[in-house]
A and B are shown apart, each in its own frame.
Chain A
């Protein structure tokens, strides 16, 4: 894994030999994934929150995940950071399955940071920024080894004044708090940061600051991001690749520009048509694609069938997720029965 030198010293240089070890079983040509999901399914009772999902999170790249509320995005986030275990399928860190033991999992989790949606709820109001950002270092026994200096450097890296050390979250508005959340997520110098709706609770002018900050941190530190949002327009701005999820399964995935300029799946097209216009004299929503009412879908059918404006007879059979050029699509119209792409 090549990660550019950074101004931030790794807190514990020899901390990761076990997981940074050489190539594992699958030696593919593409850059090796930091985290990989292989056919992951997560059930809660009868609900399949995540359904046979495979994806790779690559060093220095952003995978944007978009879908409506309840589609399983947050469950994917929780699986990746090890807060949930899959019902079936496998998660891998640097080519090896996530360890079963809690201790083993703790070591993996060190390399995966997480930024939450609501910066007002995620930070303990009683603590100072020194405690909040330093907590992961303490928890991993890394505080004595220059912890305070590291917290200072982190606050600086996210654009907070060094004097902020002894202030509390209440001193900051949403944007400032989200900076604290990002500093904390970076405390252990992770290779991957999972961002679950990191800008949804912020004002628009502040969203721009936070997105720019995430882009800059990635450029400097070579971070991988899993960036989750219900807003395709926000996802588009930060992602190299986009994956569109419905009912826990991939509908379409591929390079950002391809997906957002030439969507192929009916659901992606509907999402894009819901993005507002930019000028009052060029309104867009009048021509939005209207989805049908959601109804239970018969087993074995396309999961999007009840909502899909283009549903047809073939859709009683679930379409496979197939490669079409540089992307993956699950829709009969695109991949099936000789219908053009």
Chain B
């Protein structure tokens, strides 16, 4: 399955040693992620853990204050991080498209929504004006926009947040990129709408063979759509592997705490307390050593000072924790 690259539009993604800084602050440190063509990665972590910075770096959309200080991100044979000028302009959309958490900032405020979707069909797929608009309207309907014909003639500010989000998703889907990066695009949506959009993106992803990176802090979303999972904490990748393996047997204490909080919450009878992770994620500074050590129930002698190496604990399952060191 993972190697169906030739069939779909998707390409394999190999991120190697990626580090991103805002000034001196290390938002992402030495992140290595691999994702087969046409597979879906669930990238998980708490706010501030570096998920969005990693995604923005790969999508080449880091804000001016952000800098990639090391690493490569190969999509097929193209290093996304070194593209410039015309090649970069073409890569955006053809190679990689990014769906932000908040669509309001990403849509053009002075252009009708239908037109913005139609432009993609015109420019990217060479359709005529009428045909492009017809495709746009039908895609708007597919992403669950009611009255798509009417909505297409509206400006972004005339739509609700959920509607704007769906329009944004329609644009990204219309692009049919080799890699689609979705940054918590359903977090603010209602449960029935979220389920609808997850189902839709998953269907289209499967049809087109798009490689998909889906960022979320919700393990339920990962369980539902991801082939692989990558867990970030304090800017580092702490666990990475097939979703089935990690859900069955998480090795890193942070991942297992996240998962037991998630499942115990689901199983708890009404009004029964359930497992929580104590403390909060780091805000301004990242602790030395293992970034999770101030909250880790299993922290021991080396954790506060030495950053753990990343080890392969089973095929395709990598973990950064001193507990995995050979005795």
Contacts and interface: CB of A to CB of B under 8 A. Distances in A.
A and B are partners in one complex rather than unrelated chains: yes
Interface in B22-60: 46-48
A280 B222 contact: yes
A276 interface: yes
A232 B281 CA distance: 26
A205 B266 contact: no
B275 A274 contact: no
A237 B265 contact: yes
B202 to A, nearest CB: 8
Given A173-B283, A237-B265, A276-B223, A271 B191 contact: yes
B163 to A, nearest CB: 11
A215 B222 contact: no
Given A208-B261, A237-B265, A203 B47 contact: yes
7 contacts: A206-B280, A208-B275, A233-B191, A233-B265, A274-B194, A275-B191, A288-B192
A26 B222 CA distance: 51
B204 to A, nearest CB: 14
B208 interface: no
Nearest to B242: A280
Interface in A225-278: 230-233, 236-240, 256-257, 270-271, 273-278
B273 A215 contact: yes
Given A280-B226, A285-B199, A206 B46 contact: yes
Nearest to A219: B271
B83 interface: no
A238 B272 CA distance: 8
B220 interface: yes
Interface in B200-226: 217-224, 226
Contacts of B146: 293-295
A176 to B, nearest CB: 6
Contacts of B261: 204-205, 208
A205 B268 CA distance: 15
B274 A237 contact: yes
A233 B273 contact: no
Question: When A and B form their complex, which 10 residue pairs have the shortest distance between CB atoms, in order from nearest?
Answer: A276-B220, A208-B276, A274-B195, A280-B243, A68-B190, A205-B277, A274-B191, A203-B46, A256-B270, A209-B276
Interface residues of A, number: 51
Given A204-B261, A212-B274, A288-B196, 18 more contacts: A68-B191, A68-B192, A69-B190, A173-B281, A204-B258, A205-B277, A206-B46, A206-B280, A211-B274, A212-B273, A233-B220, A233-B266, A271-B191, A274-B191, A278-B223, A279-B223, A286-B199, A293-B147
B286 interface: no
B199 A278 contact: no
A173 B47 contact: yes
Given A283-B223, A295-B146, A276 B195 contact: yes
Interface in A40-78: 62, 68-70
A13 to B, nearest CB: 29
B186 to A, nearest CB: 11
Given A69-B162, A238-B270, A240-B270, A285 B224 contact: yes
Interface string B113-138: 00000000000000000000000000
B263 interface: yes
A288 B199 contact: yes
Interface in A2-32: none
Interface of A: 62, 68-70, 172-176, 203-206, 208-209, 211-212, 215-216, 230-233, 236-240, 256-257, 270-271, 273-281, 283-286, 288, 290-291, 293-295
B262 interface: yes
A226 to B, nearest CB: 15
A280 B42 CA distance: 11
B224 A283 contact: yes
Given A233-B266, A274-B191, A279-B223, A205 B258 contact: yes
Contact of B247 (A172, A276, A280, A290): A280
A285 B194 CA distance: 10
A68 B193 CA distance: 9
B34 to A, nearest CB: 18
A230 B189 CA distance: 9
Contacts of A208: 261, 265, 274-277
Contacts of B263: 278
A310 to B, nearest CB: 15
Interface string B271-299: 11111111011010000000000000000
A69 B220 CA distance: 21
B90 to A, nearest CB: 35
Contacts of B62: none
B244 interface: yes
A69 B198 CA distance: 18
A174 B195 CA distance: 26
A278 B221 CA distance: 9
A288 B266 contact: no
